[in-house]
Amino acid sequence: MYEPVWGAGRALSTYTTALAVIANNLANISTPGFIPHRAVFEEMLAELRARPPGFLVATGSSLEPTLRAPALQGALVPTGRRWDLALSGPGYFMVQTADGRAAYTRAGAFAVDAQGRVVGPQGSVVLREGNAPLDPEAAGGPALRAFANPAGLYHLGQGLYAPTEASGPPLPAPASTRVLAGHLESSTTDLATEMAAMLTAQRAFQLAARGLDIHDQMLGLANRLRGG
């Protein structure tokens, strides 16, 4: 009796998360180096329970907790600022977060802090080869890394990513990847794509809510017939 309620509830939760992802993409349409995310749906068409043989219970769909980021190249916009760095080609800048973890980003709006370190807006320290902080006065540039499957990277927030089993370990970036000083990579969020996705998710949410309402009406009718 309650399987339709569980299915509708799961669908409502799923599309609420999807709408939040889309809203975040739209909010970052002007953020340099931002990579739009896609909430990955995991269809659960039917689930076997402890029921008679052949009895299947539909359970709808759910969202994987990891948001997947497609590998895209944004437009390169000149800024004239020395520590605005943009990547032309696949790869990521290697940085160290405030808690000492290695992370990877394409957001290259860097600056030199009071300690003479090259840092990002989120406070991460840009690294050179050898995992040492990049020295703004020394020769050499930032360490660049790539991944066999960048869509499998885990989003830490603020444009930072961490490798997963799906992405594979960090590898040296291709020799063809270039660092352009005085440039920033624009966000790869596409307004038309996000608006279309939002309309689809909103419609799906409305249908799930309508299904829950219909089920509630049917239960009320059944109770009246039983009591009548």
The 10s digit of each residue's pLDDT in 59-107 is 445 555 345 565 678 999 999 999 999 999 999 999 999 889 999 999 9
- Least confident residue range of 54-63, 75-84, 147-156: 54-63
Percent of the chain with pLDDT over 70: 76
Nearby residues of 93 by Cβ (< 8 Å), 6 or more positions away: 85, 87, 104, 105, 106, 108, 126, 142, 143, 144
Give the torsion through C-alpha atoms of 51, 53, 55, 57, to 10 deg: 60
Top pLDDT among 157 and 11 is at 157
Q: Is the pLDDT of residue 15 over 80?
A: yes
Q: Is the pLDDT of residue 209 over 50?
A: yes
Cα 170 to Cα 45: distance, rounded to the nearest angstrom: 35
Top pLDDT among 156 and 53 is at 156
**pLDDT band at residue 164, thresholds of 50, 70 and 90?**
very high
Q: Is the pLDDT of residue 2 over 60?
A: no
Cα 96 to Cα 124: distance, rounded to the nearest angstrom: 5
Top pLDDT among 5 and 196 is at 196
Q: Is the pLDDT of residue 197 over 60?
A: yes
